[in-house]
């Protein structure tokens, strides 16, 4: 069955979606995390960002090659099915719709709420027997995160054109603090000597432990900051001249992201001592901007960080609301006849959108109970970091696709068919290994949850397939 979605987006929106989804939360949220992972070794931190960028650009290039071959409703799902078969494609659709899209959307909504709490100087909350705790760990922050989820959902469900405009505008806005810190931080840091001081900390030890655990842990941390580019494939069927524009968007978008991230990270080293950034937690970015640009400008940039995060939530939600629809178009998943229905005015699959929203809200509750709750985790053995492990799973899922691309597309040249896919497979393998090093036993709890959800999904698939055969 063909998609009924109209061609409503152009190349600028596609590039903005790539940049807008990737840039917006992770670079702010994970900057101090990379420093903590590497013990304050700036050079090793830059190396982690550079390796993460290389993984992203290499994989995006191979997807750009796929984009010249396949064009249907949901790019990633179509690529999975075209390379590895219908059952694998369905598994990818189910995973992204029930785990990846909603988990990422919920985490970024919390990140936006986290920086909003910093912006308005929300008071710490108190726990009896423990004392004052940061506001981002409290219920107020979670309520704000839930509000952001609902608000962005409403924009996408009621006015998809407005969502597209919001995506483009927030992409432009969010580049302002990043470029400002990249330029201002580097200049000020070189003049003051702060950049040299931060980079000189334990610099000799970095070259002696190039592939040490700290580097791999930091690499896994960067996965969240770099992830999201593949979600631009979700508007494949709504993109004008997709076979040309999607590869352009993926390639140009990821290269821009990589350059901005690395320069921003170097810039921030000139704004604040590494030890202070690591110790300041959620306040670190605000302090860095204030140190470089002064009080009022620092506050303005902090507000832009919140807008930046909301732009990322919007880009993720654009993909999230279409997840169950992508399964329903070929007649798969739960209640496909219901999920494929489009609103006559907005051309948006409202039933799919509602389910996607509810699943995202469930993942927000999980993220709070597994990672933020004060005291014992709500989920015990099954607790894991839902901001990173679903991303790493996706890298693992790319490997069979890259292998089958090499097997099937014999008309491609050796560079596109062999060299780049092999590099992409190696990159994905490195990300899988970094997750094991970084998360340890939590990986087993995640695999149990992942397995249960995937089994439930395939029950829908095989029941529907059996009914089709019997009919």
Per-residue pLDDT of the chain (471 residues; tens, 9 = 90+): 445 555 666 777 777 777 766 776 667 777 777 878 887 788 888 888 899 889 988 998 888 888 777 765 456 778 888 899 989 989 998 998 999 989 989 998 998 888 888 888 777 777 666 666 776 677 888 899 999 988 888 877 776 667 667 766 766 777 788 888 888 888 888 888 888 888 876 544 444 444 457 888 888 888 888 877 776 666 666 667 767 777 777 788 888 888 888 888 888 888 888 878 777 666 777 788 888 887 777 778 778 888 878 877 887 787 788 788 878 777 777 877 888 777 667 677 778 888 888 999 999 999 999 988 877 889 989 999 998 899 999 999 999 999 999 998 888 889 989 999 999 999 999 999 999 988 988 999 999 999 999 999 998 888 766 655 555
Which ranges constitute the DSSP H helices of 368-419? 389-408, 414
In a domain, 216, yes or no: yes
Contact 189, 271 (CB under 8 A): yes
What is the pLDDT, as a whole number, of residue 74? Answer: 55
Can you give the CATH number for the domain in which 270 is found? 1.20.1740.10
As for how many domains the chain has, the answer is 1
Is 19 a member of any domain? yes
The position carrying tokens 């790493």 is: 392
Over residues 287-311, the pLDDT tens digits come to 888 888 877 777 787 788 888 788 7
Reported as type and span, the H/E element at residue 187 is helix 160-192
Q: Is residue 1 part of a domain?
A: no
Q: Is residue 4 part of a domain?
A: no
Phi, psi of 410 (to 5 degrees): -75, -10
Let me know if residue 470 belongs to a domain: no
How far is 137 from 142, CA to CA, in rounded Å? 8
Q: Report CA Rg, the chain.
A: 22
Within a domain: residue 471? no
In this structure, is residue 293 part of a structural domain?
A: yes
CA 147 vs CA 124, 151, 262, 470: distances in Å:
20, 6, 32, 46
Alpha-carbon dihedral sign for residues 232, 30, 142, 169: negative
Q: Any residues with CB less than 8 A from the CB of 397 and at least 6 apart, and which? A: 80, 92, 95
Distance CA 269, CA 271 (A): 6
- Residue 239, classed as helix, strand or coil, is strand
> pTM (2 decimals)?
0.82
| CA–CA dist 48, 332 (Å, integer) | 40
Q: Which residues contact 451 (CB under 8 A, 6 or more apart)?
A: none
d(CA 434, CA 421) in angstroms, rounded, equals: 20
- The predicted pLDDT at position 9 comes to 67
The residue with tokens 């009621």 is 158
- In the structure, how many helices (H) and strands (E) does the chain have? 23, 2
Structural domain contains residue 160: yes
| Residue numbers of the domain that contains 147 | 11-465
% helix, strand, coil for the chain, step of 5:
80, 0, 20
């Amino acid at each position: 069955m063909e998609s009924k979605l109209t061609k409503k987006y152009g190349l600028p929106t596609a590039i903005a979606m790539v940049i807008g989804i990737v840039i917006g939360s992770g670079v702010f949220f994970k900057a101090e995390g990379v420093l903590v992972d590497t013990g304050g070794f700036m050079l090793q931190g830059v190396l982690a960002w550079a390796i993460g960028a290389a993984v992203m650009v290499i994989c995006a290039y191979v997807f750009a090659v796929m984009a010249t071959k396949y064009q249907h409703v949901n790019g990633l799902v179509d690529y999975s099915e075209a390379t590895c078969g219908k059952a694998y494609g369905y598994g990818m659709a189910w995973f992204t719709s029930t785990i990846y899209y909603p988990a990422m959307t919920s985490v970024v909504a919390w990140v936006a709420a986290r920086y909003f709490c910093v912006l308005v100087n929300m008071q710490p909350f108190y726990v009896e027997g423990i004392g004052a705790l940061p506001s981002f760990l409290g219920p107020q922050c979670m309520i704000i995160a839930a509000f952001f989820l609902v608000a962005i959902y409403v924009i996408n469900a009621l006015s998809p054109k407005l969502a597209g405009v919001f995506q483009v505008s927030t992409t432009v806005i969010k580049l302002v603090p990043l470029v400002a810190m990249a330029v201002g931080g580097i200049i000020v840091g070189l003049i003051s000597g702060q950049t040299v001081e931060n980079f000189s900390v334990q610099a000799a030890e970095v070259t002696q432990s190039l592939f040490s655990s700290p580097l791999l842990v930091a690499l896994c941390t960067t996965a969240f900051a770099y992830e999201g580019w593949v979600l631009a494939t979700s508007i494949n069927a709504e993109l004008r001249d997709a076979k040309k524009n999607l590869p352009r968007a993926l390639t140009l978008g990821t290269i821009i992201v990589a350059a901005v991230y690395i320069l921003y990270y170097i810039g921030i080293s000139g704004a604040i001592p590494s030890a202070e950034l690591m110790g300041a937690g959620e306040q670190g970015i605000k302090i860095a901007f204030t140190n470089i640009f002064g009080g009022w400008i620092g506050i303005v940039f902090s507000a832009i960080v919140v807008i930046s995060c909301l732009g990322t939530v919007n880009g993720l939600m654009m993909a999230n609301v279409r997840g169950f629809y992508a399964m329903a178009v070929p007649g798969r998943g739960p209640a496909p006849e219901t999920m494929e229905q489009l609103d006559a005015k907005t051309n948006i699959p409202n039933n799919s959108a509602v389910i996607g929203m509810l699943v995202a809200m469930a993942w927000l509750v999980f993220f709070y109970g597994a990672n933020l709750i004060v005291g014992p985790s709500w989920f015990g053995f099954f607790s894991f970091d839902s901001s990173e492990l679903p991303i790493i799973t996706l890298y693992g899922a790319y490997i069979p696709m890259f292998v089958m691309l090499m097997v099937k597309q014999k008309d491609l040249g050796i560079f596109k068919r062999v060299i780049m896919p092999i590099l992409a497979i190696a990159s994905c393998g490195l990300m899988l290994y970094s997750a094991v090093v970084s998360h340890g036993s939590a990986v087993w709890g995640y695999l149990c949850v992942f397995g249960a959800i995937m089994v439930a999904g395939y029950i829908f698939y095989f029941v529907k397939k059996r009914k089709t055969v019997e009919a």
